[in-house]
Structure 1
Amino acid sequence: MSAQMSARINAIATAVPDCDFEQDYRHWALRRLEGRREAKVFARMADRSGIEHRWSVLDEEDAKLEEGRGFYAAEPPSTAERMAIYAQEAPELALSAIAKLGEVGTISHIVVASCTGFVAPGVDQIIARRLGLAGSVERVLVGFMGCYAAVTALRTARHIVRSEPGARVLVVTVELSSLHHQDHDQIEPLLAGAQFGDGAAAAVVTGEGPGLELGEGLSATLEDSAGLITWHIGDTGFHMHLSGEVPGRIRDALLTPEVRDRIAGDALPQAFAVHAGGRSILDAVEAGLALGPSALDHSRAVLRDFGNMSSSTLMFVLERTLRDTPRDGVALAFGPGLAMEGFRFGWSA
């Protein structure tokens, strides 16, 4: 890594809610497709998804996707009702992750990323007050960027530390994807909904101590891909479109010499921290970069245990990567655009 002023992730902690709704969702989706050929297709793809658990801030009764029961009973809840839950639960889940960091010292800046809700005062301000931080703490809120927002948050923390060497930056991601279930009877949106769950993560970024040193940023946007991943605010929550073309487009982009050279250079790095957006996404990255069968083990483990938690997912992967103290590595995430965002990293003692 560069000898100039560096920024390091000193610690990462994560948190998920208590309610595992994965099996409830599968049963609900199969009922929507009952009697049609797509029901068998959905069951087969769900079994092959690599996901065994997803977690929701809703309690077990409210998370029921059945008519007449829970939060999604009969009429779909309005966006206002969903945002009311976000305003209450997002700060709580974020604070749970922060608490697991232990003593973090005097925080000078907070960078919060979240794309599954809106509230003002923002989650950043609520967290600062609940932690009893000084009113002079500088705050940045990264919103609605989707799955690669953690990259933006961490790169922002890097810029802060490199410009203010004494800064101690608290980076937080919190996503409540389960608040945005939609009542569909078509297989494509049901499969997209089968990917997402809730989770939060927190990290401390400073210019000292051991940790993952944050290096050069990586960005790329695919041509003619703006409609492949979209996220719209509707009257009944946020509506996501996730095209089945996404994995193939990612694989093809990674196979191009220009993109591959930017990521790998002369030799593949020791570690890859890749956003666990889905099994097909991870398979596409593995194929596009010609990685070994164990290169994405951390990403696949996060996908298995938590599903896709939007911006928080990469932080969960980095938490595991941090424990390995890798010599060098690359973090990558994919989201609306269709865009790739990432950065290089390497262990620094």
Structure 2
Amino acid sequence: MGTPVGLLSLATASPPHELLQSDVLAAARALFETRFPQFERMAPVFETAGIRVRQAVTPIEWFFEPRGWAERNELYLSGACALYGAAAERALAAAGVRGRDVDTLVTVSSTGIATPSLEARCATTLGFRSDAARVPVFGLGCAGGVTGLSLAARLAAAEPGSTVLFVCLELCTLSFRLEQPSKADIVATALFGDGAAACVLRAGEGGFAQLVGAAEHTWPDTLEIMGWRVDPEGLGVIFAQSIPPFAARHMRPAMEAMLGCQGLALSDVDRFLCHPGGTKVIDALESALDLGQGALVHERAVLAEHGNMSAPTVLYVLDRARPDLTGRTVLTALGPGFTASTATLLAP
């Protein structure tokens, strides 16, 4: 990537409504038993998902009535703006800068439509300058936390001395739906939560780590593995292929190729921090990367406390690992495309 870029701060923000997994299972059973005859066969996924509690922008009762695309997106706009503001304010304060000091705004979100985009909607409240460059990014899914952070670092490196604010947020629970549920919808209901994360970056400064490299790998003919379907009810999840066995088979050679582009080998990495898509995905990554069973402890803890929030989840993992971050760390996530994304960090 050329110039190392310092991560001056990292902050997270969660919405106010906590959903205990036991309550979600009870609600899902009440909602889906008559609509999805195979529900009881799939019910164990709620217990094996590794989730104790997660957060949502709305209480669980909201999902007991049919909701259309317009209503879901209206909730996305209000909930996303609140989370954007909370995460951004915390990150700016931690970096010792203000909204008016930010030169470039990178925003990643794929769970709703915002035009004008979220950073424009929050500009007045957060005090962004009228000449700040805006870079909203849609469609990255679970890989968005890593790819977006890497994009923000590239923009910071392109203008040394400039300040970049990266905000990543997803409201995945808005994809829960009653109408014609599929197996993928049941899995999504068992896994997804809402959350946001933000970072302040600047080239040539230390911070708690420096981003020194980034790479992506997109497998050909894999568009159907993960994504959104769009219908009158809104965005519905697509899981057309089981991701854990795919990761177990293909992640190692992809990681070797991505590291090779940076002149690195797997043995040069002191620690991997991964997006915890679910317990089976975590197990598959531990196996594929020869990390040892149970090595991804921060990933399991974030999954248990927040669920799979899509893009920001891996940044929650990074935040949790920060106190003992040393040496070379590779941040990685899998997302629609089907794509693996990595960012290489050096901690002082």
**What is the alpha-carbon distance in structure 2 between the residues aligned to residue 53 and residue 327 of structure 1?**
32
Matched residue, 2:222? 225
Relative distance call for 1:33 and 1:327 in structure 2 (3 A) is: same
Letter in 2 for 1:214: L
How much does 1:211 deviate? 2.2
8 Å contact from structure 2 (residues 9, 207) kept in 1: no
8 Å contact from structure 1 (residues 176, 198) kept in 2: yes
Matched residue, 1:27? 26
Matched residue, 1:97? 87
Correspondence 1:282-301 to 2 at 5 A: 282-301=282-301
Matched residue, 1:81? 71
8 Å contact from structure 2 (residues 194, 309) kept in 1: yes
Uncovered stretches (5+) of structure 2, i.e. residues with no partner = none
Letter in 2 for 1:326: T
Letter in 2 for 1:189: D
SS in 1 for 2:206: coil
Q: Does 1:119 align with 2:110?
A: no
Correspondence 1:329-344 to 2 at 5 A: 329-344=329-344
8 Å contact from structure 1 (residues 171, 204) kept in 2: yes
8 Å contact from structure 2 (residues 217, 258) kept in 1: no
**What is the alpha-carbon distance in structure 2 between the residues aligned to residue 346 and residue 193 of structure 1?**
36
Matched residue, 2:141? 146
RMSD: 2.2
Matched residue, 1:11? 9
Relative distance call for 1:157 and 1:187 in structure 2 (3 A) is: closer
Deviates more, 1:171-180 or 1:186-195: 186-195
SS in 2 for 1:344: strand
**What is the alpha-carbon distance in structure 1 between the residues aligned to residue 9 and residue 84 of structure 2?**
15
Letter in 1 for 2:193: G
**What is the alpha-carbon distance in structure 1 between the residues aligned to residue 123 and residue 297 of structure 2?**
35
**What is the alpha-carbon distance in structure 2 between the residues aligned to residue 237 and residue 186 of structure 1?**
15
8 Å contact from structure 1 (residues 222, 253) kept in 2: no
Matched residue, 1:248? 245
Correspondence 1:1-349 to 2 at 5 A: 5-21=3-19, 22-31=21-30, 32-33=32-33, 38-58=38-58, 60=59, 63-64=60-61, 71-74=62-65, 76-101=66-91, 102=93, 103-105=96-98, 106-183=101-178, 184-207=180-203, 208-256=205-253, 259-260=255-256, 262-263=258-259, 265=265, 267=267, 269-348=269-348
CA distances 1:92-122 after superposition (whole Å, capped 9, x unpaired)? 1111122323233421111010001112221
**What is the alpha-carbon distance in structure 1 between the residues aligned to residue 147 and residue 257 of structure 2?**
22
How much does 1:294 deviate? 4.5
How much does 1:24 deviate? 3.1
Relative distance call for 1:134 and 1:33 in structure 2 (3 A) is: same
Relative distance call for 1:121 and 1:311 in structure 2 (3 A) is: same
**What is the alpha-carbon distance in structure 1 between the residues aligned to residue 266 and residue 49 of structure 2?**
33
**What is the alpha-carbon distance in structure 2 between the residues aligned to residue 128 and residue 273 of structure 1?**
32
8 Å contact from structure 2 (residues 53, 307) kept in 1: yes
**What is the alpha-carbon distance in structure 2 between the residues aligned to residue 279 and residue 143 of structure 1?**
26
**What is the alpha-carbon distance in structure 2 between the residues aligned to residue 98 and residue 155 of structure 1?**
18
How much does 1:129 deviate? 1.9
**What is the alpha-carbon distance in structure 2 between the residues aligned to residue 33 and residue 223 of structure 1?**
38
Relative distance call for 1:10 and 1:166 in structure 2 (3 A) is: same
8 Å contact from structure 2 (residues 36, 181) kept in 1: no
How much does 1:185 deviate? 5.0
Relative distance call for 1:266 and 1:342 in structure 2 (3 A) is: closer
Letter in 2 for 1:131: L
Letter in 1 for 2:125: R
Letter in 1 for 2:309: M
How much does 1:124 deviate? 1.3
How many residues were matched structurally? 335
SS in 1 for 2:343: strand
How much does 1:79 deviate? 0.6
How much does 1:55 deviate? 0.9
SS in 2 for 1:202: strand
8 Å contact from structure 1 (residues 30, 42) kept in 2: no
Uncovered stretches (5+) of structure 1, i.e. residues with no partner = 65-70
How much does 1:84 deviate? 0.9
**What is the alpha-carbon distance in structure 2 between the residues aligned to residue 284 and residue 38 of structure 1?**
26
Relative distance call for 1:169 and 1:255 in structure 2 (3 A) is: closer
